[in-house]
Amino acid sequence: MAHADYKIGVVGVGRMGANIARHLKDDGFQVVVVYDAATERAKEVASELGATATDKLAQVTALADYIITVVTDDNAMRQIFSDDADDSLLKNASDTVFINCATISPQTHVDVEALAAKHGAESLEGCMASSITQAREGTLYLMCGGKKETFDKTRPILDSMSVSLRYIGEAGQAAQVKALVNMVMNINTAGLAEGLGLGAALGLDLEMLQEVFAQTGANSRVLETDGEDMQIRDHECYFSAAHASKDSGIALDLADEAGISLPLAQATKDQYDRMIDLGLGELDKSGVAELTFPGRGKIRVMKS
């Protein structure tokens, strides 16, 4: 099929969902309907895209053949895929294909796949290991889980969204990998904040310190994305502290189920929980540096 033959709906048009929708439209797909719990946001995005904004989940299913969901957590996911609510994406969902991109627990992906199948639909998890800019440009790192035939059916959409696409395996497995990716990323972020914070306390030149880190075993992708932001206190949100806490929590739950201890992951989550307690959960994850640098008081968020 040509791109224009795909009728796509997007449920959850926050920073990631809206930019995925924008890119797909730019790439020639029909984005026909959007839904968000924040109805004004949905109307704004729909107006921009020339799509329908609806406050009824069932209407998304009625208008779209492929539905991309980007919601906040397990509870939101279970609400939109409720099997007994008056309004749900599962209403008259036969032959609909769902691509679920939120970072949620692996078991929820498994449960949603089963619910979709019960209603004659298909479900695929499309876990994103990237941020807002990549969503807009169609350069996501995308990890997928579910039935291989569903993955193959959705390839044109997935290829448009991503620059690196990987089929992981059955439902739940991509979410497991994503949880580990974010757990390690969060540990690296908190570790970098402590390294730079101690460097600042010792009076070291932080630009020099970051150059040394980059050329030694202290290097990481987080150094590239967050190091300067930590130094200059630019915590404009690309991946929030609240999301970091949630995702580390998913990994810790998996560790509990597997019977292993992850003290670094727990300590990292504790740092992000502290940010939430201080009212800083919507800062970028780089804001964890505000807990480690000496003499930092009120948070200052710089806008680009």
Query: Could you give the domains of the chain?
Result: 3-171 (3.40.50.720), 176-291 (1.10.1040.10)
pLDDT of 304 higher than 80: no
Longest dimension (CA), the chain: 64
Phi then psi for 68, rounded to 5 degrees? -100, 125
Over its C-alpha atoms, the chain yields an Rg (Å, rounded) of 20
Q: What is the mean pLDDT of the chain?
A: 95
Q: Give the mean model confidence (pLDDT) for residues 266-277.
A: 97
pLDDT 10s digits, 160-176: 999 999 999 999 999 99
Kindly state the percentage of the chain with pLDDT values over 70.
97
Helices (H) and strands (E) in the chain, counts: 13, 8
pTM score, two decimals?
A: 0.88
CA–CA separation, 37 vs 55, rounded Å? 8
pLDDT of 299 higher than 70: no
